[in-house]
Structure 1
């Protein structure tokens, strides 16, 4: 495996937490950061990812939130081998049904941790086509959901990034869903992600935005998870930190356009015009 073609991407909202978690990243793997403090995350991070990395020599891209910490980072490599052998486009955790914190779509993944066959994704990438897939048809997908432990909603459209995963499924791309569990009796939020042999890859604590906030209830809980084992490694210096400085302005115009369109539709302007024509 050519590790020079593997990269880790973190969309970071809390750099204090990133300094701790990045120290556990795989050795000598290139690392990149998107500065998400201006609200750029989720589907917008995915779109930015495809724009920034389209010409980079990256075959495999690992998405890793700053509130996730590796237990054994080397376990990503057998997953990549499996994905390459069996033609999976992405591996990750279902957003609904796998965890008590998430009851959305069981067909989509939560992007806190994913492994993407980026080389193949670039071959099929079509931004406009992907964005048109933000809808769900009843019983459209035939996933076996019988083993899911927690509530989910097959018709959920709760996250804007669902269109990315629905688009992949409608393109007949294979998605490898990883198992998760709750590893601590006194913490019903943090989860552990397993590899294909039920070995623990990482912990995910959630609520990175509240870390370091003395008013928040999550700082002490997250610290307890990070202190499960002693870490003497230095934090990773990313190959590059990217920031879309215009994102807040573009997002403001995007919301304005959406609200204006809703108002126009509510007034019946288009139906009136169509009747005239």
Structure 2
């Protein structure tokens, strides 16, 4: 049996307004955690911050899910974790190359919109410096692997996302991966994708572009249509049940670093 007290779902939020709606569909009975991504905290920095904040907590499993993930049946994540546990699997998610028609990048990396980690096991080996060293083309990652079943194009040398190194590092450290199948396009929508369980059940729909909500009109209209499809109206989450992590002065430190690099180059 899965112990829900040892599972958390964590979201690096770009749009709190959108999260306030879609998180009503998130799995119940587990901790909800938010990392404030509105000041530029995302990707690898967010992953590292997650390990920093949660390393000494009670969690065995972490579900990473963006706020533009709409769960069809959130209980299926518990079946998925049980499947991973029973089969000695450590990381799952959808490939960032070959499975979604607008993501033509590296098939060995997972896109972080949805990923489940055996957090307890991975955190024992987690080393940020070692992970950074893995953001490069590593031939052994692709040796003896077959990609002919992938639906769309991909690029084995792609380093499109700075967080790829986390997954490359995990491969090199012998963590076992489960790549989830996905459906894309979905109906008339060419962008979104449906995340499937190992037995083919629909876990969730990923709309993409939550960060554009109420920023760009076309995407706002599109995203509102999904809220309607999932019968999310004025439903709001209970923020007393959500832990929110912020990194003080993160944006200022980021800007200062960029300024220092530019200043050094101009000397």
Q: TM-score by structure 2 length?
A: 0.92
Q: Distance between the aligned counterparts of 1:257 and 1:84, measured in 2? A: 46
Give 4+ residue runs of structure 1 displaced > 6 Å after superposition: none
Q: Cα deviation per residue 1:219-269 (whole Å; 9 max; x = unaligned)?
A: 1111222222324764242431111122112222443455567x49xx9xx
Shift of 1:147: 1.2
Q: Which of 207, 211, 214 is the equivalent residue of 1:209?
A: 211
Q: Distance between the aligned counterparts of 1:257 and 1:165, measured in 2? A: 30
What residue number does 2:249 align with?
246
Q: Give the count of matched residue pairs.
A: 263
Gaps of 5+ in 2: none
Q: Do 2:141 and 2:168's aligned partners in 1 also have CA atoms closer than 8 Å?
A: no
Shift of 1:104: 1.0
Structure 1 residues 64 and 138: CA distance shift in structure 2, 3 A: same
Aligned-CA RMSD value: 1.9
Shift of 1:185: 2.6
**2:104 is aligned with 1:103:** yes
What residue number does 1:271 align with?
none
Gaps of 5+ in 1: 268-277
Q: Which of 157, 176, 179 is the equivalent residue of 1:177?
A: 179
Q: Distance between the aligned counterparts of 2:173 and 2:259, measured in 1? A: 32
Helix, strand or coil for the counterpart of 1:250? helix
Helix, strand or coil for the counterpart of 2:64? strand
Larger radius of gyration: 1
Q: Do 1:91 and 1:116's aligned partners in 2 also have CA atoms closer than 8 Å?
A: yes
Helix, strand or coil for the counterpart of 1:227? helix
Q: Distance between the aligned counterparts of 2:262 and 2:81, measured in 1? A: 42
Q: TM-score by structure 1 length?
A: 0.89
What residue number does 1:88 align with?
89
Range that drifts further, 91-100 or 237-246: 237-246
Q: Cα deviation per residue 1:35-78 (whole Å; 9 max; x = unaligned)?
A: 10001000010010011111110111101101111111111112
